[in-house]
Structure 1
Amino acid sequence: MYLQHFGLTETPFSLTPNTGFFFGLAPHVEALQVLQMALQTGEGFIKVTGEVGTGKTLICRKLMNDLPERFHCAYLPNPYLTPDELRWAVAMELGLKHSSQIDQQQLTGLIQQQLLALSAHGHSIILVLDEAQALPDESLEALRLFTNLETESRKLLQVVLFAQPELDERLAQNKFRQLRQRITFSYCLRSLTLDESSAYIQHRLTVAGSENGRLFSEQYAKRIAKAARGIPRLINVLSHKALLVAFGEGSQKIERHHVDAAIADTSDAMTSQALVVKWAIAITVIAGISVSVLYWFKGGVI
């Protein structure tokens, strides 16, 4: 709703991971480099972990979009699956057509045949799982057994896990020691620094068509970064809300009270270090947005 007001062509701070907004920040580039190098080796498991909102899904999509043609990628965005469901899902991703009447042993045999056929045609097959911390224990073991499928020279299947840190806590258990030992490459995504966060905000505005210079001064961009603890998703949320507040006031640039209102309205951004913001400010300004937006929808001019 504020695009025309700020001279934007698309929403700059959408929460949907969009590779068109990918910015070559150090932690994301490093993660991609580790993944690309690991895939070239053809070995076992690869793991990328990071806190909620640090950009794992964006990196996952960027990786899949940039894979060389020789790679055949099977993608499971929701791995909360039983071992049987996991095998069926992998079979479907590999393009297998089969009867639902076959048993699990037959299905595993068909998957192995398909992997051999793809490999014979020069394909390297990777299985990518997002939100891998949701995998049940039995399915983690089934996943490990998939990597037993191999030729004399290399694995038939590589597995890439994108997960929250909870997965590391689970893998530390003794019962997962076999799987843990098969993870040959790992990377842990960190939060963004203040300078990275400021550049990130400006980059997304530029991609979204901003031609008005800096809508967010460096000072206010860093204020958002501190409140968001350098987490890209929270930076998006706070930046979007700050734009909404400014739009509601008819302002062409972001001021401090716009940022403060966005912070106060976002509970996860209220840190113990106390960017001390009075809730009264947020309530007053956010209420003003509601009135302005309602007026805008009715055809008024702000």
Structure 2
Amino acid sequence: MYQEYYGFREMPFNITPDPRFLYLSPTHLEALQHLKYGVAERKGFIVLVGEVGCGKTTLCRRFLNELNPDHYDTALILNPRVTETQMLKAILTELGETKLARSQVDLVAQMNRVLLDRIGRGRDIVLIIDEAQNLKTDVLEQIRLLSNLETDKQKLLQIVLMGQPELKEVLAREELRQLRQRILVHYELHPLSANDVRHYIQHRITLAGGTGRPNFTSWALRAIHRGSQGIPRIVNNLCDRALLAAFIRDSDEVNYWDVRRALRDMTNLTR
């Protein structure tokens, strides 16, 4: 409703993981650099942890967009609630393989052949698993075994595990100590600071085509930071509802009371 009123080309606070809208706060920039370093240096296992809604998936898509497609083949797994066999099939399918073996043993052999062939053609392979805290222990063990696939000089597969803070608890299990020892790059995303939230909001409004309308008052920004606790997805939800409240008032200013109304609406939805 407010898009045309404020002159936006598109909605500025959609919660879809569009990498164009990624705001590289200090913590997001550092996380991106950790991902790039781990893959470029072929570290094998990389873990990225962050709270729900902190921007892990958006950051992942930005990372994938920045990988050179002439050099890297990638597999992105978004639904990790699978068996070992299903995981192997999902990875091979993501890598573009159409004829898949049936048994788990044959799938591992096929994976080895596919990876060796691509490494032989000068390509690197990156596997990214989102929501990795949902992986079963036996599937994580299978992924560890995949990391054993290597030539005399390099690993055949670079593996990135992304997940919520519960992933740390999963990896701390005694039965996963071998996997834990292989994690050479680890980073945890932190919430946005008050200053980050201010820049984040302006960043998204500008990308959406905003030309100075509307203006968020300082008290509105403080309320957004406090109410969201610096989580980008919650910032988006609050800003979207606060903009609607300001639009209803025919105002070019989003004030503290607009944010309070947005917070109240969100609180009512969770009851």
TM-score (norm 1): 0.86
Identity of aligned residues (%): 39
Q: 2: distance between equivalents of 1:140 and 1:65?
A: 26
Q: Which amino acid aligns with 1:6?
A: Y
Partner of 2:53: 53
Q: 2: distance between equivalents of 1:143 and 1:35?
A: 18
Q: 1: distance between equivalents of 2:10 and 2:88?
A: 40
Partner of 1:33: 33
Deviation at 1:173, TM superposition (A): 1.3
Q: Is residue 2:235 matched to residue 1:227?
A: no
Q: Is residue 2:171 matched to residue 1:171?
A: yes
Q: 2: distance between equivalents of 1:83 and 1:251?
A: 55
Q: Which amino acid aligns with 1:147?
A: S
- In structure 2, runs of 5+ residues without a counterpart are none
Q: CA-atom RMSD, angstroms?
A: 1.6
Kept in 1, the 8 Å contact 2:217–2:256? The answer is no
Partner of 1:87: 88
Q: 2: distance between equivalents of 1:157 and 1:170?
A: 22
Q: Is residue 2:194 matched to residue 1:194?
A: yes
Could you say if the C-alpha distance between residues 219 and 170 of structure 1 is closer, same or farther in structure 2, counting changes exceeding 3 Å?
Answer: same
Partner of 1:74: 75
* Bigger Cα displacement from structure 2, 89-98 vs 21-30: 89-98
For each residue in 1:52-76, what CA deviation from the matched residue of structure 2 results, as whole angstroms up to 9, or x when unmatched?
0111001100000100231111111
Deviation at 1:143, TM superposition (A): 0.6
SS at match of 1:265: helix
Partner of 2:12: 12
Q: 2: distance between equivalents of 1:96 and 1:42?
A: 23
SS at match of 1:184: strand
Kept in 2, the 8 Å contact 1:263–1:269? The answer is no
Q: 1: distance between equivalents of 2:100 and 2:84?
A: 18
Equivalent residues in 2 for 1:237-248, closer than 5 Å: 237-248=237-248
SS at match of 1:162: strand
Q: Which amino acid aligns with 1:71?
A: Y
Give the structure with higher Rg (CA).
1
Q: 2: distance between equivalents of 1:256 and 1:21?
A: 25
Q: Which amino acid aligns with 1:33?
A: Q
Could you say if the C-alpha distance between residues 238 and 64 of structure 1 is closer, same or farther in structure 2, counting changes exceeding 3 Å?
Answer: same
Deviation at 1:268, TM superposition (A): 9.5
Partner of 2:127: 127
- In structure 1, runs of 5+ residues without a counterpart are 271-302
Q: 2: distance between equivalents of 1:268 and 1:59?
A: 30
Q: Is residue 2:7 matched to residue 1:3?
A: no
* Bigger Cα displacement from structure 2, 127-136 vs 186-195: 127-136
Deviation at 1:269, TM superposition (A): 11
Q: 1: distance between equivalents of 2:268 and 2:164?
A: 17
Kept in 2, the 8 Å contact 1:43–1:154? The answer is no
Could you say if the C-alpha distance between residues 269 and 201 of structure 1 is closer, same or farther in structure 2, counting changes exceeding 3 Å?
Answer: farther
Q: Which amino acid aligns with 1:42?
A: R
Q: 2: distance between equivalents of 1:85 and 1:6?
A: 47
Q: 2: distance between equivalents of 1:268 and 1:174?
A: 42
Equivalent residues in 2 for 1:261-276, closer than 5 Å: 261-267=261-267
Q: 2: distance between equivalents of 1:146 and 1:267?
A: 44
Partner of 1:251: 251
For each residue in 1:83-127, what CA deviation from the matched residue of structure 2 results, as whole angstroms up to 9, or x when unmatched?
010011111112223256x32211211110000000001111010
Report how many residues are paired.
Answer: 269
Q: 1: distance between equivalents of 2:122 and 2:268?
A: 48
Q: 2: distance between equivalents of 1:11 and 1:215?
A: 16
Partner of 2:97: 96
For each residue in 1:184-224, what CA deviation from the matched residue of structure 2 results, as whole angstroms up to 9, or x when unmatched?
10000000000010110011111111113552123311220
Kept in 2, the 8 Å contact 1:202–1:214? The answer is no
